[in-house]
Structure 1
Amino acid sequence: MTATATGLPDLRIKVLGPLEIHVGGERRTLTAPMARRAMAVLLLDANHLVSTQALMEELWDEEPPRLARKTVQTYIYQLRQAFKFPGGEERLETGPGGYRLTARQGELDLWEFEQRVTRARTALASGAPEDAARLLREGLALWRGEPFAGLEAGPLLTARIAQIGEARLGALELRIEADLQLGRHQALVAELRRLTVDHPIDERFTAQLMIAAHRSGQRSTALDAYLRLRRRLVDELGIEPSERLRGLQQDILREVLPPASKPEQTAVRRPAPPAPAPARRAAPAVDQLPLETPDFVGRERDLDRIGEPGSPVVTLLGPAGVGKTALAVRAARAMAGRFPDGLLYASLHDASDRPRSPEAVLRSLLDGLGIGRRQQPEDTESLAALFRAAARERSLLVVLDDAAGRDQVLALLPGGENCLTLVTSRVRLSLPGARRLTLGPLGAEDAAAFFVRLVGEERVTGHRAALRHVVGRLGGHPLMLRAVGELYAARPMWTLSDLAAGLLDDDRLVAELQDEACAAPARADSALDRLAPSLRRSVFLLAAAGSGAFDTEQVKKVLELDTWSAQSVVGRLLDRHVLVLADAPPSGTATFRVPELIRFGVLAHAAEGVRAAPTAEPAPIDPMPATSCGRPARTALSVVRQGGAR
């Protein structure tokens, strides 16, 4: 039996592949599956106490047998036999409420791998890419397959194994970066092609392939790699490539990609620094957030409320186009420093505006955490458990955008103590422990500032009264302000007074905004199409009856309902934010209005005549309060009479 310099038998533990234990050259690996799983948990937390409860959760999840603790003790006895040294040295100790497995430097291949990666990072940062590449090749050579290959893992172990697998990909990325710095572009193209096939939504390898191919004279290969990645991201995750990757594509298109920097040639090569003591590995950072809206204004109070501690979930509710996503992304960027392990994002509707299944969203979130499809279970419940287990050890901020309802969201909540979830939705959500924020239109000053940012200060100079009228006419609604602002910016022959006068006629606004470049019609369509037919008909009738505010009595008259039924319809429309609370008059009676974007959608479709006429003609609603325009705006009623409402 071999021995170390201290005279103790040599211990060698291999986890970067099938689990193997060798004591003095003798194989001691257990064969019983559950005992091997317990060993894996203790090894991954070597030199730290692992609670009996944690072992039970890993072995039996949430359904431990009646004698679970005694069974754990049996597995611990088997492990002690495996780690039994001549002379009686004890490596597996019993502690308060759990067990501690002691491992020393040089005994665990995972630690050796991590040490080499750490030294390689320092070498690369110090301008020694050759040393970095050599260290990384040595570290990657320790891998014999998937970590703990052949081991049936529970939720905690699955998440930890995924982290180790992600560490290997990070080391591989770093080794390729070192080779790029050494000018080995041509030799890397084939390897990177394989990596982008194996990891089709990993931006790191796509970026490296783009660089290597471009510097090898294969510009079309570089651009094709970008397009393949973009298609996958849009189709599977509903997101665009990162700003860095988009910038890289533009550099290649313009042929301004900087040439490879040659490593310095020095007489004496700088050795890599000595390895530090092994440390527990943190999860790698990931950023899936969309770009911030560059012309974002206002919402300071909402940003402060989102950032307040105390709630693991914050819901941002409001009408379509009011700026929920922009606010969520802005807040997430502002708080990014509190969540070093990642900023995750998922759109909860697909490109056809259909709600995405929790299973599809969970898979995209797990992809973002580096847990590949082959490691993901089949059913939604197991996917949710794996996501929660992965989040338990991380500090994550998760943005769930455009939720369809409560049931869709519940399976997607990470639940970790150090995690925060921002959920945006057009419908009222009741989520456990959530802080709710309801977004309304921008205030008059913020709406004016937003419009000025869109059109430029020079287009509003001398027209402040007209500016106030325009933002008031559009109700301070961000998407309508953007649509009209972008239209005004594209019409140099208009003055702001011309625009203000044109907005007095709904027909003109509807006609001008029927443009492929304008997002308002599609967003209005989406809001209306998501409604049940009876509610959609109610919105059409209320919008057609006038642009002013109205109370429940007038709803009864328009919809021909009794008081209880009218109040029920109003409540359901408020829940879906296609009806909003208006400023109450001095009497205190609650009044409501149809948001300007939704009213615009009714006008647009009625004018096209593509929807069936309502079964009953609505009675006009007298505006409450009176319009602020010089003359009343043309009501939607006449348009609906001509075109109909479905």
Structure 2
Amino acid sequence: MPVGYSRRIAEGGWGASDHRPVRITVLGRVRATVEGTPLPVGPRKQRLLLAVLVGRGGETVPVGELTEALWGGSPPPSAAENLRSYVHGLRRVLGSALLGGNGRIGYRLTTDDLTVDATEFLALAAEGERALAAGDPVTAGSRLREALGLWQGPPFADLGDVPALALEAARLEESRVLAVERRIEADLRAGAAADLVGELTTLVAQYPYRERFVEQLMLALYRSGRHVDALDVYRRTRAALRGDLGVEPGSGLADLQQAVLRRDPRLDRPDPVPAGLAGSLPARVGPAALPRDVPGFAGRTAELAWLDATLTPDADPEPTGVAVLSGTAGVGKTTLAVHWAHRVRERFPSGQLYVNLRGFDPTGPAVPPAEAVHVLLEALDVPPAEVPQDLQARTALYRTLLADRRMLIVLDNAGNAEQVRALLPGTRSCAVIVTSRHRLTGLVAIDDARPLVLDLLTDAEAMDLLRRRLGGDRVAREQAALRELVTRCARLPLALVIVAARAATEPDRPVATILATLRVGGDRLGAFTVDDDVRSDVRTVFSWSYRTLSDGAARLFRLVSLAFGAEFAGPAAASLAGVDEAETRLLLTELTRAHLLTEKAPGRYTVHDLLRAYAAELAADVDAAADRAAAVERLLDHYLHTAFAAAMRLHPNRDPIPLDPPRAGVTVPPVPTAEDAMVWFEAEYRVLLAIPGRPEVARTAVWRLAWTTWDFFNRRGYWTDWAALQQAAIAAAEATGDLAGRAASHRGLALAYGPLRRYPELAEHLGRSLELFRVLGDEVGEAHVHFTYSWLYEQLGEDEDAVVEAEHALRLFESAGHRFGQAQALNAVGWRYAQLGAYERALSYCERALDLLEKLGDRYGQAATSDSLGFANHRLGRYATAIACYGRALALFRDIDDRLNEAEALRHLGECHHAAGDDAAAGDAWRASLRLLEELKHDGAEEVRRRIAALPPHS
């Protein structure tokens, strides 16, 4: 689906106009009408310009991309003037308010006074999908027929073969064929098998390798009493697949053939996939992201049975797919959800997903839906760079990946229904468990979720829990005391686990003495304000466990309430306490044995939010304000200095920022390699994102912390998070009047906007950064800004301006004696001269860059510059030299594990071999490139496929 169209669907379409609503059609000829009256859209290139702008859904399209779309790789000298003329023509026809932008940055459709047939088609098709998923085949068929009726021919039919629209046209066509599949599926489910045989016979002839159409034809024939004909369709399809492609039919088609052979009665049921057949399909390898199951799980027999009946896929009647477990804090919602999920995971062969939404996390805000979907997409093996930036597009991709898969999803600790809604699959093949302290009645009313309120344990269940943790003999000996203990703990699982842990560590101490301690504790700490059903004795249980701790462990327990995130590592805990790591490990072990902390993963800890609230109250009562403030400062120093070390490991030649030495008692763990740096950032970046929102954090540290994350966010593709952190950095630097912080943060935000293609905002923040660096007299800062301007102009197709900016950056780097900057700028100048066709001049700059980069030991820079040298030599016809340069770039990119650039180097190498007449070598290089691009799910794979397809046979 084209990005522009999908975004418009998410936003509710183009909208209606208060002036004159314009309708644009692209499903056939490109036309524009007002209330049915055609508008004179103009010549072919003007219509092509309109098609490109419509496809981008209101986003600014850079001038360079528009020029490439209209004239390919050989624009005439008058291209810029001609483009302005076409823009003027469209403004005259459509209305000047519809088309915004300028000839330096780009153009965009700027109003909602448009309707687009492609947008309407996709919206109607989505409605049909939803109706089909909801079990309403009649409505689904109606919506899908209405959607398909909008098609008047191939997309952009009157524009001919336009490379700029080829991918978009292919995506629209695929959406059309999928809509046909779904419409036929709806008709099959409505009982119209015999009427579909003729249409499906035509479709199978038109799409002989599309196995879903073959399955539908076989099913229609079978339900029409033509069993032999159904088997003959399978035989002919299998012969075609084996003879033409050398492959066997997929498991779904093969299973259907076996079902037809044995006249399986389930084939007569009007299901999209005959019930029971899917159970014989091979299990898909999927994620297994569930937390560890709780040992010694006790009770909840009725609740487990309820979950079985509600969420088991084979249940009859059909399950709703969503269960909401609600109840008070500490009642065991997560424990129950995770235990049941482990118990039934074999019923979900596509895998299990888990995300903690932190709806009631005292450390900061809940996880936004966009971030939660991002986490789930990564668990589904979507590369970070391929995750869409807006919530609607992320949700669409997430639901697409889950369609027709049997997967179990646990959404833990939700704050409200809206936090959950975007995470629900679009089909009923998946089961979802949501846990929350609230009942989430919105999910029950609107999303057909099934609610279950989790109560306290019964007396019998509580005793069973103690029996599993203390042993049957001890329970038998001290049954009376243990029953009173259950009452004192209010039958709350969290309290019982804590008391049982303490009792288990002292097996010779009678339970009666523990009860005496609880009685002394009384209610002097007040009630835990969590629910009227949980009495104040729960807090007394916490206090009893706390009072048994050593002084050091008790102090650390109080201080963890100040941690910045939901979880923390050992060095962070050591910094909070201001003691060394060895001592901290002993204290953490003491706390985990007492069940006051949980070791979520080796070396990483979390604390239940009830216990964290209790620890915070203790800290306020026991620790002086100055001591708490010092602990926060040490913790901030830990994150800032560790992040700085990791950032310099990722980019050793980066200009360091000034940092004060870490305070006494701060632990800064070593970051020996770039791989270690990435691992540390991956574990901690959500904590780093939360730090600016903490009021006790010094504003002076925020921009420095944001600075450390640039390379990590860029490599992982977390550009939206990067931008958000840089915006917080700008605000913090402005609040403190820090000019250097403002200059760096405006540049950082500009860099984050680059991959997001937010070029106007990028230019705005670069301008602010440049002004500030000039006020500071910082030549190197100015040079970096001009270097980024050069990149921006290249993206906009303004290659001459790109060269000017790169040369300006080079002069400033040379004036400042900045060798690494000089090397970068020399390669940039050379590359941009090569784009202008000045290949000899490009070589002179790139050779100087390579010499300097070798002296600096910068392997990434050497790889990029070797690629530039290969490009210039290739264009000069020096194929042997170019192949050697590309080979060196390839080896270096492999060495530093940069797979995307490795794929690009292979593509360039293949182009050079092809130009030199060695198609066999070109094919080898392109196929290797294609494998990498497919693994990365990169859009460039399609271009490489076309190049391979165009090679002579046996190349």
Q: TM-score range by the shorter chain?
A: 0.3 to 0.5
More helix by share: 2
* Structure showing greater relative contact order (alpha-carbon pairs closer than 8 Å, 6 or more residues apart): 1
Question: TM (normalized to structure 1)?
Answer: 0.41
Question: TM (normalized to structure 2)?
Answer: 0.28
